[in-house]
């Protein structure tokens, strides 16, 4: 849950780009998912910004659990993306108007605890250095 779902992250180097959590909310739930399985994310309201959508994962640090780790460090790797395509004189963004998006966990991923992050970055307010 974002601290403000109607406002954007304004610093791509800050912690909000990673999780953007409201610390007053209860802890996120975890689940077991096998490598090669499909995972999904539900957006409410449906996705409406015409920008790419990515899925990232990070292996949980030693001594931590997926329920307690904050995802800090340069540990994130992309597992999937819904990229735009050029159609004639326009660009089609496939995630627009989707309420559910899916990705497949890489089959080669070793069994462990991971965090999953779904990210949509719009550059329409990127008017400052490191802005997004």
Q: In angstroms, how far is CA 22 from the centroid of its own chain?
A: 16
Please name each of the domains of the chain with its CATH number: 29-120 (2.70.50.70)
DSSP letter string, 27-79: PPP-----TT-EEEEE-SS---S-S-EEEEEEEPPTT--TTT----SS-EEEE
- The pLDDT of residue 80 is 97
pLDDT at 45 > cutoff 80 = yes
Tokens 């992250």 sit on residue = 9
| Average pLDDT for 26-36 | 82
Percent of residues, the chain, with pLDDT higher than 90: 42
pLDDT in tens, 62-77: 999 888 888 888 899 9
pLDDT in tens, 87-101: 888 899 999 999 999
Element (H, E) at 92: strand 90-92
- The pLDDT of residue 1 is 43
pLDDT, greater one: 30 or 2 = 30
Q: Decide if 52 contacts 120 (C-beta within 8 A).
A: yes
- The pLDDT of residue 124 is 65
Residues near 10 by beta carbon (within 8 Å), at least 6 away in sequence: 125, 128, 131, 132
User: How many Cα neighbours within 13 Å face the side chain of 8?
Assistant: 14
pTM (predicted TM-score): 0.82
Tokens 């250095």 sit on residue = 129
| Spatial distance between the Cα atoms of 32 and 77, rounded to a whole number of angstroms | 19
pLDDT bin (cut points 50, 70, 90) of residue 132 is low
């Amino acid at each position: 849950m974002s601290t403000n779902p109607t406002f954007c992250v304004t610093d791509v180097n800050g912690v909000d780009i990673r999780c953007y959590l409201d610390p007053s909310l209860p802890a996120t739930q975890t689940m077991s998912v096998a490598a090669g399985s499909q995972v999904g994310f539900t957006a409410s309201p449906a996705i409406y910004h015409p920008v790419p959508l990515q899925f990232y994962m990070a292996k949980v640090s030693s001594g931590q659990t997926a329920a307690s780790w904050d995802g800090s460090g340069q540990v994130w790797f992309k597992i999937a993306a819904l990229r735009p395509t050029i159609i004639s004189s326009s660009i089609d963004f496939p995630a627009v108007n989707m309420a559910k998006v899916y990705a497949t966990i890489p089959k080669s991923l070793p069994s462990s605890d991971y965090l999953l992050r779904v990210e949509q970055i719009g550059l329409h307010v990127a008017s400052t250095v490191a802005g997004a």
